[in-house]
Amino acid sequence: MKAFLLYRDQDFDLQQALPSNEQALVQDLELNTLFLAMARNDKFIYDIAKRVILSSCTNLDTIRYRQDILKDCLKNPSVVKQIYQIPIDSIENRQRHWLGVFSRYPAGILSGARDFMKMFLDLLHRLREIAEEHADKFESEGFRTFFAMVKRELSIEYLAGVENHLMELRFSEGVLLSAELGRGNEGTHYILRKPPDKKNWTKRIFTPKKPIYSFNIHPRDDAGATAIGELKDRGINQVANALAQSTDHIDKFLKMLRVELAFYIGCLNLSEQLAQMGETISFPVPVAANERRHSFQGLYDVALALTMKQKTVGNEVNADNKDLVIITGANQGGKSVFLRSIGIAQLLMQCGMFVPADSFTANICAGLFTHYRRKEDTTMKSGKLDEELKRMSDIVDHITVNSIVLFNESFSATNEREGSEIARQITTALLEERIKVFYVTHQFEFAHGFYSKDMENAIFLRADRKVGGARTYKLIEGKPLQTSFGEDVYNKIFKSIPIENS
């Protein structure tokens, strides 16, 4: 049995490596806020959400496959949570019951596996009942395949047969074995036999009886009891191993079901919180990596919304057929927030989730990288610019064609002229390699240098500022300005401080 709820034809690989820039992505995009919201204090969901989101998928079919499954989850949240509870109950029961597997003896293994399988049967009956009652409410290929598998593999006849076998494996009438005499009259070829059918009384009465030779073990004959026990273990050894393997197979199925559903449970948790704030979500339209699409309506920073616990300002941009997006403008005008919203939306789209926007269309990327200005680190052995260049070198070592790089105030640790030249050369080299660049900057010389080239594959955005200095926290198309209106911030802070007469 397989769940196949994250991939059409394979399980999710929990051992796959996360991207080399995992820590930078989590820090720069404030992804911990997102993961915590999805987890709702559940460490397992937190780990799975983090792993799935950072293991960004580049296959369009897989992304759409997950989107359809998530749409079903959003329409049927209570049913999905019922299914998710089944592997949770399995874990709790296993902690109380699964002791027999650690036994050295077949009898102990059989006893533990039998009890474990009985517990599993109750859970599998619940799973089948859910499939019978709710399968017609689901439309996605993933859930249709899943429910069809449940009905096929867990038919009523099959489950009844398993229950009968478990009853027989209790050996309430003793263990029936056959054996042959080998060299030196030692027993060999021990085989467990099915006991005669007691319900067929006519056959039992009229069938000729074969002579039976029997003996009894004295209650105080410890050696004899040990010998009989060893004979019994030889006979039930194979069936004990077979039953233990069967329980292991079901256990693995339920564990993987938990893993794959944990991601969707996290999505449900996130959608519920955003709905309470009045924020919108939508399913993005992903396109091939070699296309250049990036257009959206109402795109907002979900990390900011979750932190503030209220609705935030969204942006509308059409950057289709663009490789370069340069963002300039007023301090505290929403530039960094916008850049973060771009990165988060890209990751959510490529793991098959909804995005925080009214609509969103973008090409998938081979890799997402961030290069943000860092706070001063007094433990650094070299200068801040050297540290920025080193991080850029690490990105270059791992980046490939059709990736995206998000720059936020990069290379501003030096003077305007030198920083602008470094930024220009790096950006030019990335564009030549078909890498999409989003760049937030206050370096006028850098931004205006690209603007003056009148490039068809570039778009320039500016943080909006009203007369008097009010910020709308929206971005508009506009050429770079020589000022970032730092005076507005100064006046806002210092004019509000009362001056006492001495």
d(CA 53, CA 347): 6
Beta-carbon contacts of residue 448 (< 8 Å; ≥ 6 apart): 479, 480
- From residue 70, give the alpha-carbon distance in Å to each of 134, 143, 177, 351: 16, 10, 53, 11
Inter-residue long-range contacts of 422-430, CB under 8 Å, 24+ positions, other chains counted: 422/389, 424/449, 424/450, 426/392, 427/324, 430/399, 430/405
Instruction: Please report which helix (H) or strand (E) contains residue 201, including its range.
Output: helix 201-206
d(CA 358, CA 497): 40
* Structure tokens, 418: 């030198």
- From residue 140, give the alpha-carbon distance in Å to each of 50, 64, 66, 67, 422: 24, 10, 9, 9, 49
Digit-by-digit pLDDT tens for the chain (502 residues) are: 899 999 999 999 999 999 999 999 999 999 999 999 999 999 999 999 999 999 989 999 999 999 999 999 999 999 999 999 999 998 887 766 554 445 566 666 666 667 777 888 889 999 999 999 999 999 999 999 999 999 999 888 878 877 776 676 666 666 666 677 788 777 777 677 676 665 555 555 556 666 666 667 677 766 756 666 666 666 566 676 776 777 788 889 999 999 999 999 999 999 999 999 999 999 999 999 999 999 999 999 999 999 999 999 999 999 999 999 999 998 888 999 999 999 999 999 999 999 999 999 999 999 999 999 887 666 656 678 899 999 999 999 999 999 999 999 999 888 999 999 999 999 999 999 999 999 999 999 999 999 999 999 999 999 988 776 778 889 999 999 876 555 555 555 555 555 555 4
Closest residue by Cα to residue 308 from 336, 331, 332, 276: 276
Do 326 and 451 contact (CB within 8 A), yes or no?
A: yes
Backbone angles phi, psi at 481, to 5 degrees: -110, 155
Specify the pLDDT at position 97. Answer: 57
Residue 475 carries which side chain, given as an amino acid letter? Answer: L
Is the domain 280-494 a CATH 3.40.50.300 member? yes
Sign of CA dihedral 170, 176, 180, 185: positive
Closest residue by Cα to residue 5 from 78, 73, 81: 73
Specify the pLDDT at position 482. Answer: 79
Specify the pLDDT at position 232. Answer: 63
Three-class DSSP labels, 262-309: HHHHHHHHHHHHHHHHCCCCECCEEECCCCCCEEEEEECCHHHHHHHC
d(CA 81, CA 76): 9
Backbone angles phi, psi at 372, to 5 degrees: -110, 150
Three-class DSSP labels, 355-396: ECCCEEEEECCCCEEEEECCCCCCCCCCCHHHHHHHHHHHHH
Specify the pLDDT at position 502. Answer: 44
Domain boundaries, the chain: 55-170+248-276, 280-494
Instruction: Please report which helix (H) or strand (E) contains residue 336, including its range.
Output: helix 335-350
In the chain, DSSP finds a helix count (H) and a strand count (E) of: 16, 12
Specify the pLDDT at position 1. Answer: 83
Residue 174 carries which side chain, given as an amino acid letter? Answer: G
Q: pTM of the entire structure?
A: 0.85
Backbone angles phi, psi at 366, to 5 degrees: -70, -25
d(CA 343, CA 441): 17
